[in-house]
A and B are shown apart, each in its own frame.
Chain A
Amino acid sequence: MIKRVVIKRRVVRKNVKASDDKVEKFIKPLKIKEEKFLNPNSIYTKMFMIGILILGFVIGNFFVIKPTINSAMLIEPDLQQKKSFLDTSETSKIGLLKKTKEAENQLQQINQSFFYTSKPDEFYTLFSEAALDHQLKIYSLNKVSEDFFKREKKDDPKAFDIFEKYKIVEYELVINGKFIDYLNFIKTLEKYDKSFVITDSVIEEKNNGMVEIKNKIKLSLLNT
């Protein structure tokens, strides 16, 4: 019984002492982390990163973007010009093709008027047939010369440009007959529209209303 009283008194005393400064339960804030020595290398790493960043920007901006823009700006007018050319080129091409075709046709027409080296008899056949048709006699036909077509050079009149595509052949032709027949003969030749020229001609009256015609004929032949 006595023991109980003593214990009770002790408990009461303890409570009295603690009541002066009661320690209430309270939620402590998160403890501040212990400060550790930081590694100064992080500064160098960051500086390195900044260096990389600057380098990246410099390379990207000054070695990729700017040069690309500058190069593009330089070529842009050219591109525009070329594009506009392409836009109109088809029309130009068609026009040019048309003109070429026309020129080709013209050339073909001109070429048709030539005698061909591959048909050396054509000239004689044409002349003889025409003469026969108009009661003219071909007395003689002599080839005087044969050469390629030559043209004087502009800068040197003594020198010549030689064109092997064309041959110039000269004949001496003597025909006998009436002038009126010769006249018709000439008209027939004119109709043929062939490339030959009578360079020299002497029409001389002979007996009985006959004339003797001495012609120098220059033929233009196309080498085929």
Chain B
Amino acid sequence: MKEKLLALKEKFLQAFRKLMYPLLGSISISKEKRVAIEIQKDSISICQFDGKNQIKQFFNERLEISSDNNIENASEIYEQKIHKIVKKNKLTGFEANLIIPTSYSKIHLIDIPVAEEDAASSDDVIFSNFSKNAQTHEFWKTYEQLGEIKETDEVSHFIVSKNEATLELSVIVAITDKEKILSFKNVLKSCGINANLIEPKLFSIINSILLKKQEIKPFQFGILEYTNDKSYFAIVSDTSFKFTEVEISRSDKVLLKQLEKMPNPEGPFWSEVFERSLENVNSSIEEVNNDENNEIKVKEIYFYSEDNKVNNFISGLKNKFQEIIIKEISLVSSNMAESEFEVKDNLVEYDILKENLLENKTIKLSKKVQKTFPITYTDINKAFPLIGSSLRYLNAFNIKKKFIPKFQINLNPENFKYLENNKIKTSNYLLNSITVLLLFIFSSLIALNLPVYFEKSKVLKQHPNVVQQYDQKLNEIKNISGKFKKIEADSKLANEVQSSNNEYYKLVKNTPSIVPEGVKLNKLKFLDNQAVFEGHAVTDYDLNMFVQNIRDTIGRPDITILNVALILNDDAQSAPIEQNESASNNQQLSQNTSSFRNFKIEVDL
């Protein structure tokens, strides 16, 4: 379970690194305001890279310090002189990549096995964990090949590569006297420059050469840094690094110095001197060239010396390695005027192949620098290590960029602290930016929505009141409406209940007017909306009149009974005699009686 969790954590960290480190690395580099500085005995050289593709500043100034003073015993004088230059060029507050002489460090190349617990991790995790463990002297003291490490020494390292087959790290270890580093650092510090990245000159030279070499892969070349004090030789390829200190005996050094006063280095004596002096160089080259696994052979050696009087040494070098091209780096373009060229370039006198470092695709001089260059530089061919150094950044997140050099050793005793702080600062910067950005976005969104929100809040606030008023009003209207409906229903019911005598009244009132003189009504019935007239008429005419009047006034008459009846005249009995009595009596009867029409008429009202 624990292993699974650890594996999960590892995966998460790897994903996080892959995702975030390029971003954080770019931010970290963009935040570094940096110049490369090399303080020599009597001059200071400064180069500033713009972080994209241009050299913004590139100059060299004399400090005019007497020959018996150096930075360790006359730091105040250096401070004063450098301060003026820093102020003039507005470099206060900058961070610096400081180049120190290679001889200040003891450089070793050792192979260190990868820690077992890191074996399965990715390279960057392995390198990061290694760097964490390598902070103490105790760690380095376990490697005997490093020799004695004093408490006053600073041990710096740089992992060149990891051998996948042997699971070993090829590490450059530089042991430097802290006091020497601090003497440079403190001078710059008091001038307002924080020299937090310090590298031996050899690596500045290599990084400069790589500017051109990295364009064509694979490559392999040798670099010989030759000084009166100590000399170093390295074989650099795109995949490997081999380093050796050129051990020249004191007597040979004296001889080589004398050589420059001679017309040429020819003869068996000088061949022997060169054989002895360059023994290490030769064996390193042979080792590489004889390696069957190594397909590319060392065919060129770059030569760098601060001393101007090395013509005979170079000739001797060429004689010694006849199959190898000896090259020198130059900063002077081929189209430069001859006169200008001669004034500035002393090395032009001897026959050596020169490569112009500025003819590369990665960086170029800015237009401003192009106007003043190389007039602003006192010794043009000694300046190019600064360019390589100016491309260095703390690069705490170890990102890959086209211009970032391969060899990133930092002799600063507080390197680990600076790297960790840089990570924290960059993360904080990114988080602050994100916070500000989010604040801006959120504020904008809120600000856009806020007026609508307030308006809608009012609506929401208003709504219950309006609903209450509405309900109240609706209830009132409903009540009134209910009341109205009830009244209407009551009215309807009352109307339904209410009886009207219209038809009966009409019948009774109209009856006297519709009965003609010859009609006598005996009975008038009013039943179920039907009127029944019973009576007798004197003549048919009278009856007809009566029927006609009923039709006109009351309704459609229906004569249900009609018969003729006889009534005795005057004194005779008034009872009518039925017509169907015997015919013999008819005549007598007609004299004493009158005939009537009995009728019964029904009318629907």
Contact = CB atoms under 8 A, between A and B. Distances in A.
Contacts of B80: 23-24, 26
Contact of A93 (B476, B496, B500): B476
B484 A103 contact: yes
A205 B424 contact: no
Given A68-B456, A85-B473, A61 B466 contact: no
B263 interface: no
B435 A53 contact: yes
Interface string B174-206: 000000000000000111111010000000000
* Interface residues of chain A: helix, strand, loop or mixed (majority): helix
Interface stretch (B7-15, B98-106, B520-528): B520-528
B282 interface: no
A60 B459 contact: no
A60 B462 CA distance: 22
Contacts of A53: 435, 438-439, 442
B406 to A, nearest CB: 26
Interface string B499-511: 1110011001100
Contacts of B427: 43, 46
A46 B420 CA distance: 17
A204 B453 CA distance: 91
A161 to B, nearest CB: 10
Contacts of A20: 66, 69
B23 interface: no
A92 interface: yes
12 contacts: A28-B79, A43-B424, A46-B431, A66-B449, A82-B466, A85-B470, A86-B469, A107-B491, A110-B494, A186-B508, A196-B499, A204-B524
Contacts of B163: none
Contacts of B161: none
A120 interface: no
A156 interface: no
Interface in A60-75: 60-61, 65-66, 68-69, 71-73, 75
Given A53-B438, A93-B476, A149-B497, A69 B453 contact: yes
Contacts of B428: 42-43, 46
B120 interface: no
Nearest to A221: B497
Interface centre among A24, A42, A60, A75 (most CB of B within 10 A): A75
B189 A72 contact: no
A152 B502 CA distance: 24
B445 A186 contact: no
Interface string A22-33: 011010111110
Interface centre among B194, B445, B449 (most CB of A within 10 A): B449
A190 B501 contact: yes
Nearest to A99: B484
A35 B418 contact: yes
B520 to A, nearest CB: 8
Nearest to B520: A205
Contact of A69 (B77, B190, B425, B449): B449
B343 interface: no
A163 B476 contact: no
Contacts of A195: 497-499
A204 B523 contact: yes
Nearest to A72: B456
A155 interface: no
A202 B453 contact: no
A96 B480 contact: yes
A37 interface: yes
Given A69-B449, A103-B491, A114-B494, A92 B83 contact: no
Nearest to B80: A26
Interface of A: 20-21, 23-24, 26, 28-32, 35, 37-40, 42-43, 46-47, 49-50, 53-54, 56-57, 60-61, 65-66, 68-69, 71-73, 75-76, 78-79, 82-83, 85-86, 89, 92-93, 96-97, 99-100, 103-104, 106-107, 110-111, 113-114, 149, 151, 163, 165-166, 168, 179-180, 182-183, 186-187, 189-190, 195-205, 218, 220
Contact of B473 (A93, A114, A198, A203): A93
A99 to B, nearest CB: 6
Contacts of B463: 75, 78-79
Contacts of B124: none
A117 to B, nearest CB: 13
Contacts of B469: 82, 86
Contact of B189 (A21, A31, A107, A151): A31
Minimum-distance CB pairs A-B, first 10:
A197-B499, A72-B456, A29-B192, A46-B431, A201-B526, A82-B470, A203-B524, A103-B487, A20-B66, A100-B484
B563 interface: no
Nearest to B445: A61
Interface in B414-469: 414, 417-418, 420-421, 424-425, 427-428, 431-432, 434-435, 438-439, 442, 445-446, 449-450, 452-453, 455-457, 459-460, 462-463, 466-467, 469
B477 interface: yes
B490 interface: yes
B488 A103 contact: yes
Given A85-B473, A202-B526, A205-B523, 6 more contacts: A69-B452, A79-B466, A86-B473, A200-B527, A202-B523, A202-B525
Given A31-B189, A195-B497, A79 B462 contact: yes
Given A72-B460, A73-B456, A183-B509, A198 B504 contact: yes
B141 interface: no
Contact of A179 (B65, B86, B439, B512): B512
B96 to A, nearest CB: 11
Nearest to A151: B496
Contacts of A76: 459
B189 A201 contact: no
Contacts of A56: 442
Contact of B505 (A54, A190, A199): A190
A151 B432 CA distance: 87
Contact of A23 (B76, B449, B512): B76
Interface string B527-551: 1100000000000000000000000
B308 interface: no
